[in-house]
Structure 1
């Protein structure tokens, strides 16, 4: 083989490697994600197992803020597969709420089937004493970093990503929880929790996004979602 051909052959692996790197760099995780869907409107929501938005949930069109003052749990009218959700929440002093995903309405109450990201005033509510039930936690199952949450009355930014069985909770730019639905670890934690009594808990891989009525004043804004490939 000539020296020129030898040099060419030696370059092939490097070029292939560079090509692979460029391909990865041009294909980030969410590159093929669908368009953002605006959830910051009253008509995007209805009550859990209801046809309309229950009284007590008020949407201020001027500020784009949805506030729970009374009522019931609510869910998106639309259902989603793998998704990326962004929103901000602000809870009153000693307040408690939650963000559910892949809710299926197959049980009397949403928390009996849908997985929850906790919304909480960590300083004022008793649940704030445990990282398993503090703001940002996969409620009762996977602990969070409580210090990532802002105090009552301030806005907290959420990014919730669910792709296949993998779920990530982000709070104010910090990844505060990560877990794999259906894994042996997940199933073990379910068996040791109150959720063991509901066989459908955390089983769905498509469903509604939900916002919890826990008896306290809580507001949400900047709500949008997109489906992931």
Structure 2
């Protein structure tokens, strides 16, 4: 009789602990679901699934050419492929007012860029003819490191300085953030603001007229456009690309 009571006590304890464990797992699951729901409700949309190039195409082409591949959660550019298989890639979608976040990693001496407001028509052979660029650069060894507003994180050839351009060492990941809302453009690199200007203002006209884009017919003329990742001939990788429309 005594043994029976002991077995009943043990059985009860096992059931009780199992129940507690199940409750804890269910609680964890519920918390996770809540977090996911909050993330979805925040309005952020992923532009890269980490495994494919879905949602992108090479500029003025229907698909992504061989130079760009999805591997290890990265969109990576390989400049060693034949020239006809290269080129900037752009989003299938167009965006006007948005906040964009992504991470980039550049090779030694490398140069690339994040270009937005790209108007994709045959009349313009390159993304930078219409789009505005946030520079991606190895500030130490890249050839384009002699001008302050050509450094990493700057509004390329328009606004930026060595003081605010603080990229991490080659091989490390940098966090870029671009906010464009009703013509106001604000850039951050690694949480440091690198530029802030509004299209059409006297400040914009001043920096535009001092840039190489002064007489470019289509530059920054299209409020809505695609987002491009630039083929500048150097190995570069991007990851964790997401956007929130404003």
Q: What TM-score does the superposition give when structure 1 sets the normalisation length?
A: 0.80
- For the pair shown, the structure with the greater C-alpha radius of gyration is 2
Q: What are the Cα deviations for residues 76-113 of structure 1, in whole angstroms up to 9, with x where unaligned?
A: 00111200001000000000000011101241111111
Name the counterpart of 1:203: 221
**The one of 58, 62, 77 aligned to 1:68:** 77
**The one of 31, 43, 50 aligned to 1:35:** 43
Alpha-carbon distance between aligned partners in 2 of 1:111 and 1:80, rounded to the nearest angstrom: 16
Q: What are the Cα deviations for residues 28-68 of structure 1, in whole angstroms up to 9, with x where unaligned?
A: xxxxx9721111131111011111001110101xx310101
**Match runs of 1:1-229 below 5 Å:** 35-41=43-49, 42-60=53-71, 63-70=72-79, 71-106=86-121, 107-144=124-161, 145-228=163-246
Alpha-carbon distance between aligned partners in 1 of 2:192 and 2:206, rounded to the nearest angstrom: 26
4+ long deviations beyond 4 Å: none
Structure 1: gaps spanning 5 or more residues: 1-32
Alpha-carbon distance between aligned partners in 1 of 2:92 and 2:45, rounded to the nearest angstrom: 12
* 2:158/2:210 contact within 8 Å kept: no
Alpha-carbon distance between aligned partners in 1 of 2:241 and 2:87, rounded to the nearest angstrom: 19
CA positional deviation for 1:146: 4.8
Q: What TM-score does the superposition give when structure 2 sets the normalisation length?
A: 0.75
Structure 2: gaps spanning 5 or more residues: 1-40, 80-85
* 1:93/1:124 contact within 8 Å kept: yes
Alpha-carbon distance between aligned partners in 2 of 1:190 and 1:50, rounded to the nearest angstrom: 30
Count of aligned pairs: 194
